[in-house]
Structure 1
Amino acid sequence: SAQKVLPKKRYEAEGWDYLEEGTLKLSRSACVCVTCFNFRCSCDKHCHTSLSCCSHHCLVLQGANLTSKCPLWHKNYEDKFGFCPEAA
């Protein structure tokens, strides 16, 4: 008999709060949340796109990922491995 495979939970940030004001700092460099190793883009159960930071366990406000970075910003391995799907 065939075994039913359940899909992975698509939305890891269910119930997370947004980052506190002042956590993110404006940045004019390429060191922003969208290029951080801990940044994730996912969908909730209503198919709304949500941005989250796995190191803070918080949601990131829409647009802040493009212009802000946090003290925990970590360069991803795009240079070493190639394509960065979060930034595409």
Structure 2
Amino acid sequence: MESWSILSVSDLRLSRGSSVCITCQHFRYGCDEQGRTLLACERQHQQLPQGTHLTHHCRQWAPSWNHQAGWAPEVA
């Protein structure tokens, strides 16, 4: 994920609802060697600019399946 390019904000749409990157099934995060959080779109293989995961989404946004299956279906 560290080697991925950063997605342009112009490729994202401002969202005031729950359809934001952090609620997308393609949203991923990790840490780099310095311990900084990296936010990324697995489908586009690009990092997200810091903060946009809470206020933006792209055209490929897809709902997370956690809501349908329950937060931790493996526990049941």
2:59 counterpart residue number? 71
The structural deviation recorded for 1:17 is 0.9
Larger radius of gyration: 1
5+ long unaligned stretches in structure 2? none
Q: Is the 8 A contact 2:2 2:38 kept in 1?
A: no
5+ long unaligned stretches in structure 1? 1-12
CA RMSD in angstroms comes to 1.3
2:70 counterpart residue number? 82
Letter in 2 for 1:33: C
Q: What's the TM-score, normalizing by structure 1?
A: 0.76
**Higher helix content, 1 or 2:** 2
The structural deviation recorded for 1:20 is 2.1
The structural deviation recorded for 1:83 is 2.0
Please identify runs of 4+ aligned residues in structure 1 that moved more than 3 A: none
Q: Which has the higher contact order (CA 8 A, sep 6+)?
A: 2
